[in-house]
Structure 1
Amino acid sequence: MSLPFSTSRMQETAVVTAPDGSAVRPLEVLAGAASFAHFELAPGQVSQAVSHATVQEIWYVVAGAGEMWRSQDGREEIAALEPGVCLTIPLGTTFQFRAGPDGLRVVATTVPPWPGTPDEARLEHGPW
């Protein structure tokens, strides 16, 4: 079975607000496999802490700086975010992130693709 090619340009993609409060531009989807998006927080903005019901993610910081708090099964850590940092958010992880004075821009892969259901992102308590 052959699937069509798909190409998008970030600047031509609509911005939506993610459940955590970040500005997100959904870019591409490989049906049944993964989705890819660009996330942005304004300078000093803090996301809402969330956990995901069915997806996990890999993030790569492309610009700005900030911090990511992750907690799972009694473990927690805060990772510094700066260009070139890549990190994972495994299924069942509660996480929260915040931007530094220059904002924060990240690209991320979601596996499986983001389902778009209202119960996917569950609001949690975070450190900020």
Structure 2
Amino acid sequence: MLHSRSITIRSTGKSMLFQTARLTDEPDHIAPDGSQVRILAGLPGGSMAHFTLPAGAVSVAVAHHTVSELWFFIAGRGRMWRALDGREEIVEVGPGISISIPVGTRFQFRADGDEALVAVDVTMPPWPGVQEAYVVEGAWTPTG
């Protein structure tokens, strides 16, 4: 269960939302790509989540209809494949690496080694729901 608290503060005629979220032990959802998702704080302009892909797993390749994402990896080692407008690349990812996924980018990631690949992600605008992602052909065969 997500432990969060929201309050609305009125200041100079505008409402601002404060949100506090604690990382949960169990995932809130399974993403369309197959990774475990734990919902974090969000605002009208964007939302944040924590993603875990188990050790040795390869995600389903997807793209997004309307959102862009920024990812920051905090644990594990792996690779990320991205393709957009004729450009395609595979980059190594792990703690301290940040990547961008512009809207429409086809992407897929994998957890290499014996440790889960873990990232924090910001989605702009906020994630609208599972209909946002659509499956595409990727670089690797997904494990799930």
Settle same-fold status: TM greater than 0.5: yes
Q: CA deviation at 1:28?
A: 1.5
For residues 75-86 of structure 1, what are the structure 2 equivalents within 5 Å?
A: 75-86=87-98
- Aligned residue among 56, 59, 78 for 1:47: 59
* TM score, norm. by length of structure 1: 0.93
* Contact 2:32 2:130 survives alignment (8 Å): no
Distance in structure 2 (CA, Å) of the matches to 1:30 and 1:68:
27
Determine if contact 2:56/2:111 at 8 Å carries over to the other structure. yes
Contact 2:33–2:62 (8 Å) recurs in 1:
yes
CA-atom RMSD, angstroms? 1.3
- Alpha-carbon separation, structure 1, partners of 2:38 and 2:47: 11
- Choose 75-84 or 5-14, whichever is displaced more: 5-14
- Number of positions where the alignment pairs a residue of Structure 1 with one of Structure 2: 126
Identity, % of aligned positions: 50
Distance in structure 1 (CA, Å) of the matches to 2:64 and 2:97: 22
Which residue of structure 2 aligns with residue 110 of structure 1? 123
Rg larger for? 2
Kindly tell me: are residues 12 and 64 of structure 1, through their superposed partners in 2, closer, same or farther at Cα, counting changes over 3 Å?
A: closer
**Partner amino acid for 2:127?**
W
1:49 offset after TM fit, Å?
0.3
Deviation readout 1:87-128 (Å, 9 max, x if unpaired): 00011100000001211000010000000152x101000010
Per-residue deviation, residues 68-102 of structure 1 (Å, max 9, x unmatched)? 00001111000101100000001110000000121
Is 1:89 paired with 2:101? yes
- Does residue 1:2 correspond to 2:15, yes or no? yes
Offset at residue 4 of structure 1 (A): 3.0
* Structure 2 unaligned spans of 5+: 1-13
Amino acid at match of 2:41: E
Deviation at 1:3, TM superposition (A): 2.0
Q: Do the aligned residues in 2 keep the contact of 1:27 with 1:35 (CA within 8 Å)? A: yes
Contact 2:27–2:36 (Cα < 8 Å) also in 1: no
- Alpha-carbon displacement from aligned partner over 1:1-56 (angstroms, at most 9, x marks no partner): 1223110100267421000100011111202x000000000001110000000000
The 2-side partners of 1:82 and 1:18 are apart by 20
Preserved CA contact (<8 Å) 1:13 1:26 = no
- What is the match of residue 127 of structure 1? 139
Amino acid at match of 2:134: R
Tell me the TM-score normalised to structure 2 length: 0.83
Secondary structure in 1 aligned to 2:24?
Answer: helix
